[in-house]
Amino acid sequence: MPATAQRPSRGDVLELTIDSLAHGGNGVARLEGYVVFVAGGLPGDRVRAVVGKSKKAYAEARAIEIVQPAPDRVPPFADHPGAPWQELPYERQLAVKAEQVEDALRRIGKLDGFELEPIVPAVEQWRYRNKLEYSFGTGPDGELVCGFHAPGRWDEILPMDDCLLASERSNEVRGQVLEWARQQGLSAWDRREQIGLLRNLVIREGRRTGELQVRLVTSLGSIDVDSLADAVKCDGLFWTRQDQLGETALGGETTLISGAPQLREQLGGLEFLISPEAFFQTNTEMAEQLYALAAEFAQLRGHERVFDLYCGIGTIGLSLAARAREVVGVEIVEPAVADAIENARVNDILNARFYAGDIRLAMRELVEQAGRPDVVVVDPPRAGLSQKVVRRIVEAQPSRIVYVSCNPTTLAPNAAQMVEAGYRLVRVRPVDMFPQTPHIESVALLERG
């Protein structure tokens, strides 16, 4: 924006041309150099967009009208707020993701000399999610609805008849819960007024076993659990009660209403039990490919001690155990660690141990007790590793670090710090776990010396 021109204000409506996609998925437009990030804009679009935040260096806006669509836009397949890239042809989605991994590593991490391998495309472009978290709300006629937040709106829930990111069976179960709740005359939790009952519905599916785990999240009121158990056809039914401070389906007190306490799933020839509180990769088919890549990058010969950091229910460590001398996993969520220990037992794996702990505090003690690792696998949340955790990992001097990342913009500085400490970034391979969305998974290999 020229020095004399005024920066846009909140509420202004601008007409903009989108020229690229930023990390995180928003369109990027330029007003004489001044950057505007536009939610809902794809490269080549001419849009009218309403300005939200406006800062000295950039503004954020939301497209309210596509004045001239990009020539390669494809018709939308689903009316779904969880599929913001669906009008970008799938091949373009893959290309953008690969470019963003490269951009993050080269520009943010200032790294080079590594091999960026071709992105692994997803097996399924729709109905690939094994877990969906829905919210309850009130429709225009006062009726109870269950669906997703409208983009950028915390107080508006868009009802969903058929969520095309979930399987048909998972959709049926959402319908059963909604019908039960309407029959019971229950209301949605109203965050503004702090009244009402129903907050979220979390449905998880064992894609290989066909099992379904259902968790209803409410405020502190009561429900008729017997009629809910009769109405919902699933393998494990849970009820979580949260006080008014809870903002997501995490937290609160969870009880099992009926069925099994853990969902059963199979991955890479192993059996896994998954508690409702535990993380599990949301795309089962692609998780298998992700773990196969992690195994390839780890290059195990059978004599290695492997640390599986941020191990969840032990999936990566257990899939490596047959090729390693021993596996030691650490995870902060206690029910997930209990699952990991049980998963080792269920699969007759005797050379894997799992501990509950915070990696930010536990690394030194882990090395003292378990011994120096030959290979470290890390799979942290989107925020990546803190500088201190990277220091602790490199001071343990593993020969190889296999970094499974769900965010290239945090992988890049973490990998740069490892390179600074004497490691070499050898190869990186993106994997598309989340078609129709901007989320990017990748696996990176760093070698010492």
Ligand X SMILES: C[S@@+](CC[C@H](N)C(=O)[O-])C[C@H]1O[C@@H](n2cnc3c(N)ncnc32)[C@H](O)[C@@H]1O
List the catalytic residues. Answer: 406
| Contact predicate 67/48, CB 8 Å | yes
Size of the site for ligand X (CB under 6 A): 20
Q: Which of 8, 252, 276, 312 binds ligand X (CB under 6 A)?
A: 312
By beta-carbon proximity to ligand X, the closer residue of 359 and 376 is: 359
Which region among 145-153, 213-221, 244-252, 326-334 touches ligand X (by CB under 6 A)? 326-334
Does an H or E element contain 240, and which?
A: strand 236-241
CB of 298 to ligand X, least distance (A): 13
CA dihedral 61, 65, 68, 73 (to 10 degrees): 80
Q: Which of 26, 315, 347, 409 binds ligand X (CB under 6 A)?
A: 315
Does residue number 38 form part of the binding site for ligand X (CB under 6 A)? no
Does residue number 276 form part of the binding site for ligand X (CB under 6 A)? no
Angle at 158 between CA 154 and CA 161, to 5 degrees: 150
Which region among 177-185, 277-285, 297-305, 318-326 touches ligand X (by CB under 6 A)? 277-285
CB of 370 to ligand X, least distance (A): 15
Tokens (6 digits) for 81:
């707020």
Does residue number 331 form part of the binding site for ligand X (CB under 6 A)? yes
CB of 42 to ligand X, least distance (A): 28
Q: Which of 1, 229, 256, 333 binds ligand X (CB under 6 A)?
A: 333
Q: Which of 311, 393, 401, 433 binds ligand X (CB under 6 A)?
A: 311
Q: Which residues are within 8 A (CB) of 282 and not within 5 positions of it... i.e. 6 or more apart?
A: 129, 130, 131, 433, 434
Q: What is the DSSP string of 370-431?
A: H---SEEEE---TT---HHHHHHHHHT--SEEEEEES-HHHHHHHHHHHHHTTEEEEEEEEE
Residue 348-387 contact track with ligand X, rule CB under 6 A, x = bound: ----------xxx------------------xxx------
Does residue number 336 form part of the binding site for ligand X (CB under 6 A)? yes
Q: What is the DSSP string of 332-372?
A: S-HHHHHHHHHHHHHTT--SEEEEE--HHHHHHHHHHHH--
By beta-carbon proximity to ligand X, the closer residue of 38 and 300 is: 300
Tell me the residue nearest to ligand X as measured from the CB: 312
Does residue number 307 form part of the binding site for ligand X (CB under 6 A)? no
By beta-carbon proximity to ligand X, the closer residue of 188 and 433 is: 433
By beta-carbon proximity to ligand X, the closer residue of 214 and 330 is: 330
CB of 379 to ligand X, least distance (A): 4
Does an H or E element contain 189, and which?
A: none
Task: Give the CA count within 13 Å in the CB-facing half-sphere of 365.
Answer: 9
Q: Which residues are within 8 A (CB) of 250 and not within 5 positions of it... i.e. 6 or more apart?
A: none
Tokens 């803190």 belong to residue: 386
Instruction: Give the pairing type, strands 423-431 and 441-448.
Output: antiparallel
Which region among 42-50, 160-168, 251-259, 324-332 touches ligand X (by CB under 6 A)? 324-332
* DSSP reduced 3-state for 322: helix
Which region among 29-37, 40-48, 140-148, 329-337 touches ligand X (by CB under 6 A)? 329-337
Amino acid at 92: R
Which region among 55-63, 103-111, 240-248, 273-281 touches ligand X (by CB under 6 A)? 273-281
| Rg over CA atoms, the chain | 23
Which region among 164-172, 222-230, 325-333, 343-351 touches ligand X (by CB under 6 A)? 325-333
Tokens (6 digits) for 398:
């593993």
Nearest to residue 385, comparing CAs of 414, 357, 409, 361?
A: 414
CB of 343 to ligand X, least distance (A): 11
By beta-carbon proximity to ligand X, the closer residue of 189 and 280 is: 280
* DSSP reduced 3-state for 155: coil
Task: Kindly list the residues in this chain that would bind ligand X in the complex (CB under 6 A).
Answer: 279-281, 310-312, 315-316, 330-333, 336, 358-360, 379-381, 406
